[in-house]
Amino acid sequence: MSDLAHIHHVEVLTPTPQASLDFYVDVLGMEVEHRDGPSVYLRSWGEYQRYSLKLTESRTSGLGHMAIRAWSAEALERRVAAIETSGLGIGWHDGDHGHGKAYTFTDPDGHAMELIWEADRYVAPEHLRPALRNVPMRNTGRGAAVKRLDHVNLLAADVAACRRFATDVLGFRHYEGIQLDNGDETGAWLSLSIAAHELIYVHDARGAHGRLHHVAFWVDTREECLRAADLFLDYGVHIEAAPSKHAVAGGFFLYGFEPGGNRMEVTTGGHFLYDPEQQPLMWTEAERAKGQAWGVRTVESFHVYGTPPAVEADRAYALAAGVAAPAPTTRTEKR
Amino acid sequence: MSDLAHIHHVEVLTPTPQASLDFYVDVLGMEVEHRDGPSVYLRSWGEYQRYSLKLTESRTSGLGHMAIRAWSAEALERRVAAIETSGLGIGWHDGDHGHGKAYTFTDPDGHAMELIWEADRYVAPEHLRPALRNVPMRNTGRGAAVKRLDHVNLLAADVAACRRFATDVLGFRHYEGIQLDNGDETGAWLSLSIAAHELIYVHDARGAHGRLHHVAFWVDTREECLRAADLFLDYGVHIEAAPSKHAVAGGFFLYGFEPGGNRMEVTTGGHFLYDPEQQPLMWTEAERAKGQAWGVRTVESFHVYGTPPAVEADRAYALAAGVAAPAPTTRTEKR
Amino acid sequence: MSDLAHIHHVEVLTPTPQASLDFYVDVLGMEVEHRDGPSVYLRSWGEYQRYSLKLTESRTSGLGHMAIRAWSAEALERRVAAIETSGLGIGWHDGDHGHGKAYTFTDPDGHAMELIWEADRYVAPEHLRPALRNVPMRNTGRGAAVKRLDHVNLLAADVAACRRFATDVLGFRHYEGIQLDNGDETGAWLSLSIAAHELIYVHDARGAHGRLHHVAFWVDTREECLRAADLFLDYGVHIEAAPSKHAVAGGFFLYGFEPGGNRMEVTTGGHFLYDPEQQPLMWTEAERAKGQAWGVRTVESFHVYGTPPAVEADRAYALAAGVAAPAPTTRTEKR
Amino acid sequence: MSDLAHIHHVEVLTPTPQASLDFYVDVLGMEVEHRDGPSVYLRSWGEYQRYSLKLTESRTSGLGHMAIRAWSAEALERRVAAIETSGLGIGWHDGDHGHGKAYTFTDPDGHAMELIWEADRYVAPEHLRPALRNVPMRNTGRGAAVKRLDHVNLLAADVAACRRFATDVLGFRHYEGIQLDNGDETGAWLSLSIAAHELIYVHDARGAHGRLHHVAFWVDTREECLRAADLFLDYGVHIEAAPSKHAVAGGFFLYGFEPGGNRMEVTTGGHFLYDPEQQPLMWTEAERAKGQAWGVRTVESFHVYGTPPAVEADRAYALAAGVAAPAPTTRTEKR
């Protein structure tokens, strides 16, 4: 098993901080746990850690960084050594609200990442104390009432390189993937646990680097995904993909855009992988052409749009969806 | 078919007006539509009428009155004539917020009732305007987010007399009932539509008159009943009966008490009755002894407690449940 | 209220009788109640009547006829008189399995219809006897386990004419509709009860007459629609539209094709209409352009394909979907 | 993390083999994968391994054995060494259908257990081949259509001793427990993964040894648990506890008895534990007195009945529930 336990939090950048915050609080139903300068730290009701989302004001949208927690101090050291060997290490910093020192690095596509070990356990204030002690916080029922951060999907110019880094250096398990007829690997579903995915890489059709495809938050039932779609509709959240079931990994999804332009998913379901000898299941081009599990065609934007915008077409798409449309980043080379 | 269309609203009395209001707004998710003196008028998101619940401050708990809307002005006149013939008529009054003149009467057990025809259609203010025009108001998702008033369950000393009044004078259809081995009729499920019940009478084991068993609000899914139970738990609402399925009428239920002491249900499911020749299905004592559909034993309080309290035991029960426990009414004779 | 109670059964024609029967039994989970010559009579578990679907071998697909049951013998006579006045009456026949004498007629588009009063009540054989007496038959859980016939959707060249016939002559209530910018009425949602629709007319883009758009069967929960989609997938049933929520009438849907080429829906949800003064809500072209409730684009086939095929394009579509593709009917004039 | 991956299968004994088999196939919806002498090997649709249940004819009911698969051959060797050190080891045998050599041992209460590494991966025959390759078998939808073995609950005279063996020797994580006011540990929820429980020990109130409390099979949704309850009802399966939500571990449950007398659960939901520093949450006597999550009182039988029957009272209970009631085992000392 891996030295790493789970994705502890993700930092998302937004050029529209207040509108984005309103989305996470009112529509997704998250709680503000802390504020510090340009950042607001938000949590879901089912998370043991203090927060899973750090929302940071920025001139553009996209991923700030992603932090993964190790199983132990020793496990952290082992992974840091492996990253340093890989040549993608950057170095330690003192930590942030809610966690101790962190080792920063990038994946081969340039996404900023951190490894941490020391982390606080959340203690709910009186008004958020749950009736049952085995959940960290009461479920207020507000908005979609997401339970926890589920997975992060990153765009990458070279999916195979990122997948290899995730498996060989970080210790993720590779459960599913997409391989085109020409041999190109265009998607990789990776996990640190029995859950079908915790980190996903998909090919960046814009040829850009370091971009975010989406962040997914978990709810316990498909009915909550359907309910979330009704809330998205009445809140004026642009629904990119209405609730349905993925073929790959089998999860149930709802995709929309937060005001900052970042794609967000409300998800549930999927499979658990218990086979110690599980081999990656590679989907073919012909299979993917069939659409999602029940035949729903994936909308074109899902294949090309990410944050920050990489080209003018991304910007135009964001404008049409009624969300922030910062100028496309000119960075098309990885950091 | 009946001259009467549906139960338009119900007035519930509470000795704890602010706490009760908080329950209906925060836990059930209703909206305040109007206020007038000791009363607050509340609505669910799916109701075409302005309100379905008039919550009125009172020294005790229980039913204020129940209003039924006719299919037309002529239908109203026909039913008023029938009620006057029955000897239970009282007379006209000018109406109330949201509806025109009303004819007041009581059922044989003394419950105050009204018939109305003229009624306003709700127009949502800007912040509650729905994205889809075929619902009257947006679903805010707050609390249990009940959709509409579903049915009213009244306690009665003589169920058969009330059932005959409902069918013969008011025109309800009689779909299901309970008949003891000794021939006593102790329950009657009545409807004005294809829905399995809109008005229920059950025997008042305390021998009192005019009491309320519960008011039920509809949600579209069983998952919402389960979700409501989680909310009840964290809001400290006393759950009398956790979500399960009724044998009689087949509805899915959750029962709890609002702070004023009145029993409230969140309900969904059940059957539609399409047979024009539908005969009442009478359940036997032996069948009822099996409990609810899946064998859940009905808690004892469900068979005896109503509002207002009729005896000291009711008061003690209310105290134990943490809700208002006004002095038992001494009225054991019908009005 | 109407003189008519509900759609009692529908006859569907199929050029592939055994494959179609397997679909209704194995995939939809219906029971064979009776067989007679080229017809098999099928029922859902929640239906009081003996059957709701008469499946008849034919050289083509489409609607055989649709039968509506009246509230009483007198109500039947009144509606027959009205139909005769309309000039669309045909005459009486002696009845069929499970019901007595029937008055046959057509709607203005030429769809064959019948009115009946006398009808049998289903009595389950021992192996299908339910544990709870208030349902007519046990739910075997097989396939989608549909509960009852919900609604019938007919294609019509002149929707407004059919809608007027349904409301003025038959007594349906008109709840929702679609009106194009040019004034054309292209859809009408009609009901005999509080349910949001029982009979639907939509414009036949092929200019044909007497065609069927789809027959819809009810399940109690959205989860059952999602489950049905998984079953459709593994049974190789062509899914035309994956589960999602309609904007018009708000129902939850799953559309697929039975082997005979007829479109079938598994449905639940939607709204109840309790307002005695309910006015038709007309959707505009701009509103319909937004797609279904959560933005799902309606697939093109949904707007044009019906049974029997009217043009070669219909036949080609059926072939592509892997279902029966009989030669297009040349009848483009109404009967 | 542990050297062990998951509970690979469980052997359940039954004195009524054909009736029990019918239950697992028709009601739970499992598939017969293999037969050998007195045993039938059954699988759920979502399991990668060939089977998860070995049903074996026996003069009595209860647990045959439970097999746990290691993460690797080396991991297996490490655990075997630890077991041998503990003094509870028995020795190797050549394996069984679907898996290679196995090391047998008992837990401190005498339950027969095995560790394995080599195991076959299931390949579905043509008629059970799924439409989507990332599930091992199609979901036929038959009966409750359970997806996979979820957890095993064992009765033990000394819960603390068994819990220590599970954590210290086998490497389970200890997530939740029950500790009485007198300090006695009467329940332990243990897991090899992020799932809230895979192995549970609860106190055997009869003072017997080696008994089974229940085996739980997973479904993906709460709606499937509710649906299973309807099926149990119509199939005449004794429902011990209708669907509701556990306080401990938060799972949704349905408990009934298979004809052989063994308690079976259909379960879903619950929490994932991601904290590498997760400490056991111990529930107090006062907390457990509140019943399940929504206040449902646990039925008395749940606290005392297990298989095989230990005393005459168990036998009487089984008779009352209509299931096999073999003579109570006289073994009250652990093996």
Nearest CB to B247 within list C70, C132, C195? C132
- Alpha-carbon distance of B196 to C134, in angstroms, equals 10
Nearest one of D28, D55, D20, D31 to D216, comparing CA atoms: D28
Using the predicted structure, report yes or no on whether residue A332 has a pLDDT greater than 70: no
**Contact state of D131 with C223 under an 8 Å Cβ cutoff:** no
CATH of domain C4-120+144-321: 3.10.180.10
- Alpha-carbon distance of A166 to A176, in angstroms, equals 13
As to burial, measured by CB atoms within 10 angstroms (0-12 exposed, 13-18 middle, 19+ buried), residue C192 is: buried
Residues 6+ apart with CB under 8 A from D157: D109, D203, D204, D207, D208, D209, D334
pLDDT classification of A329: cutoffs 50, 70, 90: confident
Q: How many CB atoms lie within 10 A of CB D59?
A: 9
Average pLDDT of the residues in B165-184: 98
Give the Å distances, CA to CA, from C162 to C116, C165, C170, C201: 20, 5, 11, 7
Average pLDDT of the residues in A154-161: 98
Alpha helices by DSSP H, listed for A100-257, are 159-164, 222-235
- Element containing residue B166 per DSSP (H, E): none
Reading the block at residue D59, the tokens are: 């003069």
Q: Among B3, B275, B284, which would you mutate to test the C interface (most chain C Cβ atoms within 10 Å of its Cβ)?
A: B275
Nearest CB to B139 within list A140, A142, A234? A234
- pLDDT-wise least confident of A107-111, B24-28, C50-54, C290-294: C290-294
pLDDT classification of D330: cutoffs 50, 70, 90: low
Residues 6+ apart with CB under 8 A from D77: none
- Element containing residue A334 per DSSP (H, E): none
Architecture of domain B4-124+145-321: Roll (3.10)
pLDDT classification of D331: cutoffs 50, 70, 90: low
Q: Among A230, A231, A238, which would you mutate to test the B interface (most chain B Cβ atoms within 10 Å of its Cβ)?
A: A230
- Alpha-carbon distance of C312 to B38, in angstroms, equals 70
- pLDDT of C291: 92
- pLDDT of B2: 85
Nearest one of D5, D12, D111 to D52, comparing CA atoms: D12
pLDDT classification of A63: cutoffs 50, 70, 90: very high
Average pLDDT of the residues in A138-152: 98
Contact yes or no for B241/B303 (Cβ under 8 A): no
pLDDT classification of B329: cutoffs 50, 70, 90: confident
Residues of B in contact with D226 (CB under 8 A): 222, 245
Express each pLDDT in B114-131 by its tens digit.
999 999 999 999 999 999
- pLDDT of B1: 58
**Contact state of B250 with C72 under an 8 Å Cβ cutoff:** no
Contact yes or no for D186/D233 (Cβ under 8 A): no
**Contact state of A276 with D70 under an 8 Å Cβ cutoff:** yes
How far off is chain C from B156, nearest CA to CA, in Å?
24
- pLDDT of D335: 47
Average pLDDT of the residues in B304-333: 89
DSSP code at position B227:
H
Residues of B in contact with A139 (CB under 8 A): 230-231, 234
Three-class HEC string of B45-108: CCCCECCCEEEEECCCCEEEEEEEEECCHHHHHHHHHHHHHHCCEEEEECCECCECCEEEEECC
- Element containing residue B267 per DSSP (H, E): strand B263-269
- Alpha-carbon distance of A80 to A67, in angstroms, equals 13
Please tell me if residue C322 touches chain D, with a CB cutoff of 8 Å.
Answer: no
Nearest CB to D194 within list A121, A194, A278? A194
- pLDDT of D329: 76
Reading the block at residue A105, the tokens are: 């690095």
Q: If phi over 0 gives left and psi between -120 and 50 gives alpha, with beta otherwise, what is residue B62?
A: left
Contact yes or no for A163/A201 (Cβ under 8 A): yes
Three-class DSSP category at C335: coil
Q: Average pLDDT of chain D?
A: 96
- pLDDT of A335: 47
- Alpha-carbon distance of B162 to B145, in angstroms, equals 32
pLDDT classification of D113: cutoffs 50, 70, 90: very high
How confident is the prediction along chain C (335 residues), in pLDDT tens digits per residue? Answer: 589 999 999 999 999 999 999 999 999 999 999 999 999 999 999 999 999 999 999 999 999 999 999 999 999 999 999 999 999 999 999 999 999 999 999 999 999 999 999 999 999 999 999 999 999 999 999 999 999 999 999 999 999 999 999 999 999 999 999 999 999 999 999 999 999 999 999 999 999 999 999 999 999 999 999 999 999 999 999 999 999 999 999 999 999 999 999 999 999 999 999 999 999 999 999 999 999 999 988 899 999 999 999 999 999 999 999 999 999 976 554 54
DSSP code at position C272:
B
- pLDDT of A331: 58
Q: If you search the block for the tokens 């609203």, which residue do you land on?
A: B9
Amino acid code (one letter) for B116: I
Reading the block at residue D329, the tokens are: 């085992």
Using the predicted structure, report yes or no on whether residue D289 has a pLDDT greater than 50: yes
- pLDDT of D305: 97
Q: Which CATH superfamily, name and number, covers A4-321?
A: 2,3-Dihydroxybiphenyl 1,2-Dioxygenase, domain 1 (3.10.180.10)
- Alpha-carbon distance of C260 to C28, in angstroms, equals 14
**Contact state of C139 with D231 under an 8 Å Cβ cutoff:** yes
**Contact state of D233 with C143 under an 8 Å Cβ cutoff:** no
Q: Is the ipTM of this complex over 0.85?
A: yes
Using the predicted structure, report yes or no on whether residue D334 has a pLDDT greater than 60: no
DSSP code at position B128:
G
Listed by start position, the domains of chain A span: 4-321
- Alpha-carbon distance of C77 to B175, in angstroms, equals 26
Q: How many CB atoms lie within 10 A of CB D94?
A: 7
Using the predicted structure, report yes or no on whether residue A151 has a pLDDT greater than 70: yes
Q: Average pLDDT of chain B?
A: 96
For helices B222-235 and D222-235, the axis angle rounded to 10 degrees is 110
- pLDDT of C329: 76
